[in-house]
Structure 1
């Protein structure tokens, strides 16, 4: 079999197109990260070819490519770098997932296998069969249940040949800060540093903040002009059109206007006029740094339930520093003036106003809180 021809800088070419469409001039840190991901791309292509050759004749196992850990502040293009890498790598068994969602799946699998001997290794076996390239976005550990199993799980996946690409707001040494039994987590940090190339993508321009400052984050009224502005804002922040596939939130499918990596667009009725709980909003806040919300009405005394859910929604988004872009029938102070939730709603009004400020728009999204 002939050696494979490496694509001519396929990942870098796709990334350059994305940078140009977003008017981004990559700095030295972004360029270094892009070149390292291109090298991993090339290594994965060669590795796949050699594994196929091994299936046909007895040859030595090819070395498994070394993964990458990208960390840095908000809006530095880490997710964009990983998106271009993931989209262009010619693998079928690859997965890009928010780290929190992945760990929830792991715990569900462990519960299903709790009667088995050493269920964690069985979970690792299944993941390795399903996925050869795993990309985690917003890698961060704050939960002790995750911290106590992550090291052994990652070690088992490394041993089974899974290649990782991670993005995080924190360096490995900054993971699980002040957590319970953090000393037990230190071997996991050591493992990550041994198995992955750690690159800092920090300093320079906050491109997410720049995009948010270009758009109108609170539009009155909720009319056709507002929807058109929302569409333009979605493209500006997400870098594309997104798609309209429903999103699964706590085992329920919710319709969306659009969604993309880290950005999602709902209408008010979907989030606040049905049987939604704070847990639904918490899940959305963990997975999406920016939420678009269409058609927030002027709520009447009879809409106390809707006002209560909207208050929960804003409280959760505020605590997680989710950026909110919305259309409404009126200014925040007029959204709900009379009814059983009116006193509590004063806090919601105050937060809606603060969520438009530059300080809030530039704050780091707290996926884990």
Structure 2
């Protein structure tokens, strides 16, 4: 049994290990010791310095790693300036400098020579007026923009009328002739209003002029005359009244079943029966506004034309005659006045606006034709001519309607 053995390097081999193992270990250690030298591994210390100042150390036989970082300047601002190193220069330190005016170094406006004369900034006020009335003001030294708008009239209706200036209203006030001479052709609605009824009743005809029209049941009913039958009749018709006609014929019908003019217009089948449909249409459109009044109508015919007349009641629905349409006789008798009677003036609208005469349709007139006294009545031709045709022919019915107030 061996005792514990201490190797040269201080390692203790326990006694329990066998001799052979020991011998082998010892032999190997001797070889290692021969290689390393009798003194064993070195343990020198490395000292790391920065500009002579120790930063860290490291032992040659140290068992652990170690890092030593040396801060090396990367910018000039990391360095300390040596004696005499310049960091800035004052103007006074500069030598051999040229001569400058004082202002070059002072930067003061007061050190300038030959200074310009700066004009005085005034602050006057601009006053904007319209017709002597101030609208707004603006100061010359204002720091903000301003817009001043002057309203200038663009339409005559924007202006005030001078004394004596004529307007439609002033001309038409209580002026029936003016209402009959201004073909305004304004749309009046779909029925006679209370205001229009009052204007007819008072005979002021406010806002009613020839050419104006109502549209009722698809028919344009146009005013062709105003106050036409006022003070007419063996029984005086003293009511305000207007005459309207449809823009086109209402339907076609005969003057008589045969080619005869017996009884003239008064006794014709047209007046006694064939106008009934027109009466119904007008009654539906105007009702009680249809005016009953008295008119003179031709009632007999001889070889020369109408030979007599008489006063008759009219329910306001009648064919017009040539004078009312054209303003003169054409085919009607020129020798007698029986076919004119109380229908003796042209409807004013048709005198001023002949386009309302011609509808591109043929329609009947009251007059017995002088071309064929016994068989024909006057017509307005579809081509715009004044003509006549046989009484049994079916042509257009375009009556006139007398309306008054209710």
Which TM bucket (shorter chain)? Answer: under 0.3
Higher strand content, 1 or 2: 2
Instruction: Provide the TM-score with structure 2 as the length reference.
Output: 0.22
Instruction: Provide the TM-score with structure 1 as the length reference.
Output: 0.24
Larger Rg: 2
Higher helix content, 1 or 2: 1
